[in-house]
Amino acid sequence: MSLWDRLTGEFIDVIEWTTDDPDTMVYRFERHGNEIKYGAKLTVREGQAAVFINEGQLADVFPPGMYMLETNNMPMMTTLNSWSHGFNSPFKAEVYFVSMKRFVDMKWGTKNPVMIRDPEFGPTRLRAFGTYGIRVADPATFMREIVGTDGHFDTDEIEGQLRNIIVSRFSTAAAGSGIPVLDLAANYDQLGEFVGTKIAPEMAEYGLELSKLLVENVSLPPEVEKAMDKRTEMGVLGDLNKYTQFQAAESMRAAAENGGDGGGLAGAGMGAGIGMALGNAMGNAMGGVGVGQASAAVPPPLPTAKWHVGINGQTSGPHDTSALGGMVSNGQMNRDTLVWCDGMSGWTKAGDVGDLRSLFPATPPPLPT
């Protein structure tokens, strides 16, 4: 700085800060020797605050407005200085302009997966990311705790620390919420509000206010997402037997369309063979009927009529077991009715034949005396 700049600096009496940098949070007003003329004008615009530092101590904080730097509006500075020169000499102080606007679209995300216990998938790893916004709520606390003597403080210098706090609180909230992984997307707003409430006291210790925290996405590991895609694909396909038959028909059609050259018929035959073989294999695996096989139902075996029954001194039969059940139902037959079939040594009561006991309802034993 030239001698002329040093001399004229004594007479510059307008202190203000205008900038187009959207990320600057604190800017130190540069003056030669930090000398400010008594009676200078301080302009603090909306969205700003001016902090005066005198000999390392925070002297005054000015909200938006225009001020004449005199003793009547600088009570703390007046207390710290003796003003032995009749209030006319320049005083030395550092002026920091603090941006009070909201800083939005700041990013956060998990560097490492968060382990949670999902009720459906079991132990699962999650990754998440989103955005948040902050603003300086208390310029004095922010200067003491974070900025210090930094003459040009940007959001980059604090974004890492804030990101660590958010990720830590999000991990705790996600692990303790008990919300299934498949339902997390429906609870992004609740997670964001819960994490923001937990972080607010820690932000206040820095003189900051968390304006909004958004959870934009929670993702699963790639291998889990592939397994879920397969599961969804199976649900979309539905009947695998019909799908296999459709695939076989498509193979035959494609082979037939390539029949313009000498290998067309061979290709068609190969496609048909592959399609039928694949269809038969899948049909057998699924318990169905293969492609090209007869789909007629196989009838059950005919009932065997082998029982002879003695009714009213006469022989009736042969009857199958179902016919005997009907005779029991209409009262023509009971446990004492004599029956006989090939292989038996003689006529036997029906209630004593093991194959016929199921025809008679169980009789409870007599009540004890």
Residues 63 and 148 both lie in one domain: no
Backbone angles phi, psi at 99, to 5 degrees: -75, 125
What confidence tens digit (pLDDT) does each residue in 199-244 have? 999 999 999 999 889 999 888 878 777 777 776 766 666 666 766 7
* pLDDT of res. 170: 86
Residue 160 is assigned to a structural domain of this protein: yes
> What's 186's domain CATH number?
3.30.479.30
Are residues 110 and 215 located together in one domain of the fold?
yes
Burial class of residue 120 in the structure, from the number of CB atoms within 10 Å of its CB (0-12 exposed, 13-18 middle, 19+ buried): exposed
Tell me the residue range of the domain where 48 lies. 3-99
Considering the domain architecture, whether residues 153 and 251 belong to the same structural domain is answered as no
**pLDDT over 80 (residue 335):** yes
94 and 23 together in one domain: yes
Residue ending a domain, among 171, 196, 223, is 223
- 3-state class of 325 per DSSP? helix
Whether the pLDDT of residue 4 is over 50: the answer is: no
Q: Is the pLDDT of residue 113 over 90?
A: no
In a domain, 176, yes or no: yes
Looking at the structure, do residues 107 and 218 belong to the same domain, yes or no? yes
Q: Which of 136-150, 152-166, 245-259 comes out lowest in average pLDDT?
A: 245-259
Same domain, 108 and 219: yes
Same domain? For 41 and 145 the reply is no
User: Same structural domain for residues 108 and 151?
Assistant: yes
Higher-pLDDT residue of 217 and 255 is 217
Per the structure, how many domains does the chain have? 4
Residue 301 falls inside a structural domain: no
User: Beta-strand (E) ranges in the chain?
Assistant: 14-15, 24-29, 35-36, 41-44, 48-54, 57-62, 65-68, 91-92, 94-99, 103-109, 114-118, 122-136, 152-154, 208-219, 307-311, 314-319, 338-340, 348-349
8-state DSSP, 143: I
Highest-pLDDT range among 117-121, 199-203, 265-269, 353-357: 199-203
- Structural domain includes residue 168: yes
Residue 323 vs residue 81, higher pLDDT: 323
Q: Are residues 127 and 200 in the same domain?
A: yes
Boundary (domain end) residue, out of 179, 197, 223:
223
Asked whether residue 232 is domain-assigned, the answer is no
Q: What is the mean pLDDT of the chain?
A: 77
How far apart are alpha carbons 307 and 19 in whole angstroms? 109
Looking at the structure, tell me whether residues 201 and 90 fall in a common domain: no
